[in-house]
Structure 1
Amino acid sequence: MGGGQAMTPEERDLVMDLVLVPGKGRTRTLDEVLAHFGESDGGVLALRLLRDAMERRDADDVEMALIVKAAAGASGEEFLEPLIELSRADWHTRHEDVVRMLGKLRSPRAVPALREAARWVPEYLDWDENRALAVKAIWALGAITGAEAREALEGLRDDENEIIRENAVKQLARRGEL
């Protein structure tokens, strides 16, 4: 797969085989996938696939890249900027995964994007009255230390949505900042 080309259906199937199936496990190893793509490091491959998919605004390939990232356990700082950009992009449907991954990075640089994600309802999530994306963003904010994250949570404490308010209060309480 060169730059600018979508993954083939076979490559997508290969990556999908990395997904953990309850009761079955994985049907393929990360090493097999790495070998196919000519890469030795899962994080490097995930980042390459992610940047390529973002350049092409290919929602399916973003999902594939995030699967490789998760399978490789890759969580380096180099994912921060692409994930922040993806958290604000309206052309894919993996916002909950992206926000969860941003939370794991625990970077104060992610606070503005997470604050936006807590308030934004992408069109494809319009049906979700539980506001799962907002809740994940608020929990991600709760995991980030520092004044900026605290201020973001305090701002969300006054949101018109009850679920957002309740979760912001829970996170502030958990942090001992109520």
Structure 2
Amino acid sequence: MGGGQAMTPEEQELVMGLAVGLGDGPTRTLDEVLAHFGESDGGALALRLLRDAMERQDADDVEMALIVHGAADASVEEFLEPLIELFPAEWHREHEDIVSMLGELHSPKTVPTLVLATRWVPEHLDFDENRALAVKAIWALGAIPSAEAREALEGLRDDENEVIRENAVKQLERRGEL
């Protein structure tokens, strides 16, 4: 689907229907969305939409791709590479969702991205004093059974930010590595 078009407002509305709105459930089924896009597999569609949105640096369509992924209950495994590539980009708003998705994998391959998430605050999250993104990343690091993850957490024990220090210590304690 190289160099695809942006999703139409109608397509975005269709996909948004998969997301659980405030107080009400989804208004669309995954089957309806798959039929529209001519795909039979939700994970495959989500990946196709994600790669296409990344190519066009389209923040809205990245969001749509992740909604489809969530609705399809697809595995995160094949999203590992694109998500790692997408995370450091400033042009989208999905940094927290990406960290959550990478956190599901418990993979040592995600450690460098998760560490970046503890050090870097994307512009759209600049207001967040609680450093929710960093905390999410630290919890994700805590769940990875590898030496890289342990070293990353040990490195965060001396961070200048108290929230980060405390969460790193909590995770090391939980792992029995303090």
Please, what TM-score do these two structures have when normalized by structure 2? 0.96
State the number of aligned residues. Answer: 178
Taking only the aligned residue pairs, the percentage that are identical comes to: 80
Equivalent in the alignment of 1:11? 11
Equivalent in the alignment of 2:74? 74
Equivalent in the alignment of 1:144? 144
CA positional deviation for 1:75: 2.0
What aligned pairs does 1:1-178 form with structure 2 within 5 A after superposition?
Answer: 3-178=3-178
What secondary structure, in the 3-state scheme, does the structure 2 residue paired with 1:88 have?
A: coil
CA positional deviation for 1:112: 0.4
CA distance in 1, matches of 2:23, 2:125: 29
CA positional deviation for 1:2: 7.2
The question of whether the paired residues in 1 share the 8 Å contact of 2:76 and 2:104 is answered with no
**Unpaired segments ≥5 residues, structure 2:** none
More displaced stretch, 40-49 vs 69-78: 69-78
The question of whether the paired residues in 2 share the 8 Å contact of 1:75 and 1:105 is answered with no
What code does the residue aligned with 1:122 have? P
What secondary structure, in the 3-state scheme, does the structure 1 residue paired with 2:66 have?
A: helix
The question of whether the paired residues in 2 share the 8 Å contact of 1:100 and 1:136 is answered with yes
Check 1:51–1:73 CA distance in 2 against 1; reply closer, same or farther (3 A cut): same
What code does the residue aligned with 1:156 have? L
More displaced stretch, 18-27 vs 152-161: 18-27
Please, what TM-score do these two structures have when normalized by structure 1? 0.96
CA positional deviation for 1:117: 0.8
